[in-house]
Amino acid sequence: MFDLTLRRAVKRRKALRRKASPVAAATPVAAAMLDRPARMTGREQMCEHALVDRDLNRLLFDYERTVRSRFTRIVEVLKRISTYQHDENFIGRARQLAREQLGFDLPTQVLEDAWVSGLDLSTLHSRCIFSSLKLSVDNAQTEQIGWRQRLPLDENFLRSCGYHTVDISPCSDGRLQGVGAYVLRFLPGPNVRVKGYAGALFNVEANVSDWAEREIKRLSGAMVDGDRLNFLKIAVYHFSSSSPDNHGCAAHGSNDRQATEAALQRLCELRSAIDRTFGTGAVPDVLLIGVDTDLDALRIHLPDGFGEPSAHRYFETAQIYRDTLGLSPEAARVHIAETVAVAEGMDDGSQGTDRMHEGMRRLVLALAEANLSQIEYVIKHHTGRYKTIGHDEEYIIAGEKLRPLQLRNLFYLAHLNTMEEGAPDMDVGIDIFTKLNAAHGLPVPVLVHFEYDARVPKSRERAIARGRRVRDAIKARYSDLAARGLLNCAIAVSERGGDERCTFVADNAVDDH
Amino acid sequence: MFDLTLRRAVKRRKALRRKASPVAAATPVAAAMLDRPARMTGREQMCEHALVDRDLNRLLFDYERTVRSRFTRIVEVLKRISTYQHDENFIGRARQLAREQLGFDLPTQVLEDAWVSGLDLSTLHSRCIFSSLKLSVDNAQTEQIGWRQRLPLDENFLRSCGYHTVDISPCSDGRLQGVGAYVLRFLPGPNVRVKGYAGALFNVEANVSDWAEREIKRLSGAMVDGDRLNFLKIAVYHFSSSSPDNHGCAAHGSNDRQATEAALQRLCELRSAIDRTFGTGAVPDVLLIGVDTDLDALRIHLPDGFGEPSAHRYFETAQIYRDTLGLSPEAARVHIAETVAVAEGMDDGSQGTDRMHEGMRRLVLALAEANLSQIEYVIKHHTGRYKTIGHDEEYIIAGEKLRPLQLRNLFYLAHLNTMEEGAPDMDVGIDIFTKLNAAHGLPVPVLVHFEYDARVPKSRERAIARGRRVRDAIKARYSDLAARGLLNCAIAVSERGGDERCTFVADNAVDDH
């Protein structure tokens, strides 16, 4: 039965390709349909994929819209406020409008000073960005409750695959900042970490340290079932299928192959470093994933039986989506498993011995299936392909990510402990925002954010001191922007696994140690 | 029998104190005798302490003289070379003199350029410092062979006390840089680490990482007898008995009590951080030690039965030396044990439950005994008290110490990974050298040195990149000195536990990652 369906799909796709016209290709939906034709029914209506969780997609989209609108409204509101800055009762009106439209108060001092040399819209803009993100963090628990309960790759599932911790390093690029919950459908939690580095080129030494901390818990017996669980490091590079030369990874000059090879090499370096320092038994599993940021579709690279990843041994979920549209859930799953099996044999002929282990296979199959929902999410809620395939971030995070707030193109994430080491990552971000913001007279909002451990004495003070140190280093490095008032930094700290989330700290000088 | 000896010693000391005259007090030997009167025989000849290893002291002194003379000769040789810089055959003569007197070649280019605007003595001076230290590193194995074999606190002994690793953080101060082999008589090796921080205020997070790396080896079974061994962190603060207000710890404004409390607090923070992150079983042992840098005598603080150190529960080896001079080895050891027991009871009345564990006691007793040799070393080979009780360093090390070369007042050690975090430590060092060198027109020589692990891919490249990054940050922070030609940086790397030691690397721009 589904052989017939499949044949019809192929015929239909060919027919669609023949019919492609420049006009049709110019609209995003049509473009997506042609490049990656979804399965159509006889009435030209998209049929729904059997493995897609549509309820989850709706919840995710509601959430995305809620958060996004907090930021998109800012410019509009500020423009309106600006028009009556010289009116009587300006302050009252401005505050009321902000409260109604944005949900927070504007800083009184800025409003009060407006009569002297005009309203400082530049400062207001950054302050509104920070207030919006703070509001989103504060509301996260309520606003995310629906979709969090439905995300398929939760802690229990990951443990069933053999992983106590998943540490993801996507590129710092904003388009990758929804990769956890949206693209990969991982349930955010203490066992899932995201550390963005430009070009996905994570710091090997820092990642050995992060691994070591978990490894001690595992070895010391402080982790349930620790003896059968491992650490998984995922590197996520990216590319743009519709504009490969312009909207790929900036850190690799939009060179798809270079992005793949570089991320792969970093994974191998991490494995080698741990292997040679701590012995073979210790090495973490690694996984290399590419994301087509136009469609949020995946290229999953398969490790071999020794856990070694490969640039050439992969499959693509966009193809799976097309191939399995219209199939029953069972048939679609059989197809996914077959695709993975074929991909596994791609590298060489040594079949049998070089198959990935069962836990990794379970994870890869689940990732492939979960991503079908995200592919349809983009088709259904984002006109087949993201309207903005390039950069559209609202702010930069330097330091550690804000766990409660992760969304595509919301922010650029430079994971770092010091600017001295993290400068190349930050440079890419500043470069992006110079075009996005500074070129239009808007300052670059940078949130310097670090987590602390409330159980450890002085950890919070040290996190604040680190934040100030990094803030000072950012201001020094981009002194030209700062001098022109085009760089606004704020410092915030959160308690790791605790209740204090994104508390802004006063703007004092660096504490000496 | 030794009761009688003891009584005579006390009488003799009192008599000596009465005879103290301003003239006698002005010469260092006499001053030391009066403040800390050594036991005299009837013929006013110092009797020798039964627990002192005089052969070891002679070997150590020979070594100290050999290394020190390499540096002290530099100025003298450069002055001579300078006198004939406009003579014919200057280059040949200069090179020959350097080879004969200093044991290495001078950089030809500097000599060749001398005819234009005079010999660049400032550059030559730094180059000679770096060449001398390189020569000392290269000769270390041969020159240290004698004393290394006799040092009492070797790896086996430390293991018998229950420690697989001893991690020492003295102050960055040059006077503490001989603390390992000389003052504490630890045999340098991979199990003994030295990381100097200004004021002994080590970085808690970085030290948790260092502990974690060893802890994994222990827990994973890669360490022989790992199940009964622990990690020991020692913090070493310092003070000057003869000039407490001027030659104490600069980072603590020569405030003895503040130096003690601050180092103690850092040890407690490290314990808490590990305890609360990894559980009680994991905490390392800690030990707080003070050094009187005039005499190299110790103040050893005793931990209680729970491993908690105390500012008030301590004993001093200078007192033990005085009290046990003339006693038999057995009697002297009984006295040391009694002194330690008395000190243990100093804090409160809860005796019995709060005694330190036997491994720590074994170590403390051995440290006390070993330090008696160093006290006599200073009496015998350094006129009773160091001639230069203040700063007299030759260069600064920023990064990681050069394992093969550790000597009192040879260098200032700022242990750091980035200048962003290590700046306060470096500031203290630059301040010291501004007085020592820059005030006299001599540049500050800074060796930026990092170790790499040859087994880990790209570790060497990353160490070099880190070196260049730190070098650039140093030049940027002290740009005023650099602009005046008063800051000369060199970068070197060593293989951790390997054969490549202190290889200087070319002075290129920072590599991007």
Q: What is the pLDDT of residues B136-180, one digit of tens each?
A: 999 999 999 999 999 999 999 999 999 999 999 999 999 999 999
Count of structural domains, chain B: 4
Distance CA A364, CA B317 (A): 64
pLDDT digits over B264-304, tens only?
999 999 999 999 988 877 899 999 999 999 999 999 999 99
For chain A, the straight-line distance linking the first and the last C-alpha, in angstroms and rounded, comes to: 72
What distance lies between CA A227 and its chain's CA centroid? Answer: 31
Distance CA A335, CA A328 (A): 10
Residues of A within an 8 Å Cβ radius of B: 201, 203-205, 209, 212-213, 215-217, 219-220, 222, 268-269, 272-273, 276-279, 281-282, 418-421, 424, 453, 455-459, 462, 469-470, 473, 512-513
Distance CA A241, CA B305 (A): 65
Question: Is A16 part of any domain?
Answer: no
Q: Do A212 and B216 touch (CB under 8 A)?
A: yes
The pLDDT of residue B46: 54
Q: How far B419 CA sits from the closest chain A CA (Å)?
A: 7
Q: Do B420 and A419 touch (CB under 8 A)?
A: yes
pLDDT at B21 > cutoff 80? no
**Beta partners for A492?**
A449, A504
Distance CA A408, CA A182 (A): 8
User: Helix axis angle, B204-219 relative to A256-278, nearest 10°?
Assistant: 70
Domain endpoint, select from B92, B113, B141: B141
- B297-301 and B230-239 strand pairing: unpaired
Residues A407, A339 within the same domain: no
List, in order, residues 6 or more apart from A55 with CB less than 8 Å away: A150
Domain endpoint, select from B141, B169, B203: B141
Give yes or no for a contact between B292 and B238, defined as CB atoms under 8 angstroms apart: yes
Which residues from B are below 8 Å from A203, CB to CB? Answer: 513
Q: Do A276 and B456 touch (CB under 8 A)?
A: yes
Confidence grade of residue A497 (pLDDT, cut at 50, 70, 90): confident
- B230-239 and B285-292 strand pairing: parallel
B460 half-sphere exposure, CB direction, 13 A CA radius: 14
pLDDT digits over A394-427, tens only?
999 999 999 999 999 999 999 999 999 999 999 9
Q: Do A470 and B420 touch (CB under 8 A)?
A: yes
Residues A136, A241 within the same domain: no
Average pLDDT, chain A: 89
Greatest C-alpha distance within chain B: 80
Six token digits for residue B435:
């007085």
- Region B228-246: mean pLDDT is 96
pLDDT digits over A186-209, tens only?
999 999 999 999 999 999 999 999
The pLDDT of residue B506: 81
Chain B residue with the nearest C-alpha to that of A513: B424
Confidence grade of residue B354 (pLDDT, cut at 50, 70, 90): confident
Residues B233, B285 within the same domain: yes
Q: How far B314 CA sits from the closest chain A CA (Å)?
A: 25
Residue A505: exposure state from Cβ atoms within 10 A (0-12, 13-18, ≥19): middle
The pLDDT of residue A347: 55
Q: How far A204 CA sits from the closest chain B CA (Å)?
A: 9
Domain ranges, residue A476: 395-504
Residues A373, A415 within the same domain: no
Kind and range of the H or E run holding A24: helix A22-26
Distance CA B398, CA B124 (A): 21
Write phi, then psi, for B148 (nearest 5 degrees).
-60, -35
Distance CA B127, CA B109 (A): 12
Question: Is A466 part of any domain?
Answer: yes
Picking from B134, B181, B84, the residue whose alpha carbon sits closest to that of residue B377 is: B181
Distance CA A212, CA B395 (A): 35
Confidence grade of residue B27 (pLDDT, cut at 50, 70, 90): very low
Picking from B253, B348, B335, B248, the residue whose alpha carbon sits closest to that of residue B305 is: B348
Residues B242, B340 within the same domain: yes
Question: Is A306 part of any domain?
Answer: yes
Residues A253, A367 within the same domain: yes
- Region A490-510: mean pLDDT is 86
The pLDDT of residue A338: 97
Q: Tell the residue number behind the tokens 């006129």, with chain if given.
A: B383
The pLDDT of residue A356: 94
A173 is catalytic: yes
Q: Do B201 and A278 touch (CB under 8 A)?
A: no
Distance CA B134, CA A494 (A): 47
Six token digits for residue A127:
């302050």
Q: Tell the residue number behind the tokens 């105390």, with chain if given.
A: B310
Distance CA B489, CA B470 (A): 10
Confidence grade of residue B7 (pLDDT, cut at 50, 70, 90): very low
The pLDDT of residue A348: 52
Q: Do A213 and B215 touch (CB under 8 A)?
A: no
The pLDDT of residue B353: 55
Residues A133, A158 within the same domain: no
**Beta partners for A194?**
A168
Q: Do B273 and A205 touch (CB under 8 A)?
A: no
Give yes or no for a contact between A507 and A491, defined as CB atoms under 8 angstroms apart: yes
Total residues belonging to chain B: 513
Q: Tell me which of A173, A304, A354, A425 is the catalytic residue.
A: A173
Distance CA A166, CA B496 (A): 31
pLDDT at B308 > cutoff 90? yes
Q: How far B171 CA sits from the closest chain A CA (Å)?
A: 14
Q: How far B203 CA sits from the closest chain A CA (Å)?
A: 9
Question: What percent of chain B is predicted at pLDDT more than 90?
Answer: 81
The pLDDT of residue B22: 35
Chain A residue with the nearest C-alpha to that of B427: A512
- DSSP 8-state code for residue B174: G
Which residues from B are below 8 Å from A279, CB to CB? Answer: 220, 222
Chain B residue with the nearest C-alpha to that of A511: B424
pLDDT at A434 > cutoff 50? yes
Known catalytic residues of B are 173
Question: Is A38 part of any domain?
Answer: no
Question: Is B375 part of any domain?
Answer: yes
Chain A residue with the nearest C-alpha to that of B272: A456
Question: Is B40 part of any domain?
Answer: no
Q: Do B455 and A276 touch (CB under 8 A)?
A: yes
pLDDT digits over B75-104, tens only?
999 999 999 898 889 999 999 999 999 999
List, in order, residues 6 or more apart from A393 with CB less than 8 Å away: A174, A409, A410, A411, A412, A432, A433, A436
Six token digits for residue A415:
């994971």
Q: Do B219 and A220 touch (CB under 8 A)?
A: yes
pLDDT digits over A18-35, tens only?
333 333 333 344 344 434
**Beta partners for B299?**
B290, B316
Confidence grade of residue B345 (pLDDT, cut at 50, 70, 90): confident
Picking from B375, B470, B22, the residue whose alpha carbon sits closest to that of residue B184 is: B375
pLDDT digits over B178-199, tens only?
999 999 999 999 999 999 999 9
Q: Do A276 and B458 touch (CB under 8 A)?
A: no
Residue B330: exposure state from Cβ atoms within 10 A (0-12, 13-18, ≥19): exposed
Residues B190, B300 within the same domain: yes
The pLDDT of residue A508: 53
Residues B12, B123 within the same domain: no
* Count of pairs with CB atoms under 8 A, one residue in A, one in B: 99
Nearest 5 degrees, angle CA A65-CA A67-CA A70?
A: 105
Residues A141, A105 within the same domain: yes
Q: Do B219 and A219 touch (CB under 8 A)?
A: yes
Distance CA B249, CA B17 (A): 29
Q: Tell the residue number behind the tokens 């911790």, with chain if given.
A: A165
**Beta partners for B300?**
B289, B315
Question: Which of A197, A280, A513 to mutate to probe the B interface, most B CBs <10 Å?
Answer: A513
pLDDT at B9 > cutoff 60? no
The pLDDT of residue A354: 74
E strands, A248-325, are: 285-292, 297-301, 314-316
Instruction: Write B92-101 long-range contacts (CB < 8 A, 24+).
Output: B98/B128, B101/B73, B101/B76, B101/B77
Question: Is B271 part of any domain?
Answer: yes
pLDDT digits over B491-501, tens only?
999 999 899 99
Picking from A137, A126, A127, the residue whose alpha carbon sits closest to that of residue A502 is: A137
Q: How far A511 CA sits from the closest chain B CA (Å)?
A: 10
pLDDT digits over B438-470, tens only?
999 999 999 999 999 998 889 999 999 999 999
Distance CA B56, CA B381 (A): 12
Q: How far A272 CA sits from the closest chain B CA (Å)?
A: 6
Of the candidates A204, A282, A455, the beta carbon closest to that of B220 is on A282
The pLDDT of residue A47: 63
Neighbours of B270 (CB within 10 A): 26
Average pLDDT, chain B: 89
pLDDT at A5 > cutoff 80? no
Residues A134, A257 within the same domain: no
Residues of B within an 8 Å Cβ radius of A: 201, 203-205, 209, 212-213, 215-217, 219-220, 222, 268-269, 272-273, 276-279, 281-282, 417-421, 424, 453, 455-459, 462, 469-470, 473, 512-513
Residues A137, A220 within the same domain: no
Picking from A374, A378, A376, A330, the residue whose alpha carbon sits closest to that of residue A47 is: A376
List, in order, residues 6 or more apart from B101 with CB less than 8 Å away: B73, B76, B77
- Is 0.90 topped by the overall pTM? no
Q: Do A209 and B204 touch (CB under 8 A)?
A: no
pLDDT higher at A483 or B352: A483
Please tell me chain B's helix, strand, coil percentages from 3-state DSSP, rounded to the nearest 5: 50, 15, 35
- Region B191-216: mean pLDDT is 94
Q: Do B222 and A279 touch (CB under 8 A)?
A: yes
Write phi, then psi, for A394 (nearest 5 degrees).
-100, -30
pLDDT digits over A304-333, tens only?
999 999 999 999 999 999 999 999 999 999
- DSSP 8-state code for residue A46: B
- Amino acid residing at A260: T
Which residues from A are below 8 Å from B419, CB to CB? Answer: 420
Q: How far B198 CA sits from the closest chain A CA (Å)?
A: 10
Q: Do A216 and B216 touch (CB under 8 A)?
A: yes
Give yes or no for a contact between A457 and B267, defined as CB atoms under 8 angstroms apart: no
Distance CA A328, CA A334 (A): 10
The pLDDT of residue B222: 86
Burial of B423-443, coded b for 16+ CB within 10 Å and e otherwise, reads bbbbbbbbebbeebbbeeebb
pLDDT higher at B402 or A512: B402
Domain endpoint, select from B348, B381, B414: B381
Question: Is B147 part of any domain?
Answer: no
Distance CA B12, CA A503 (A): 67
pLDDT digits over A371-399, tens only?
999 999 999 999 889 999 999 999 999 99
pLDDT higher at B395 or B39: B395
What distance lies between CA A464 and its chain's CA centroid? Answer: 25
Which residues from B are below 8 Å from A278, CB to CB? Answer: 216-217, 220, 222
Chain B residue with the nearest C-alpha to that of A209: B209
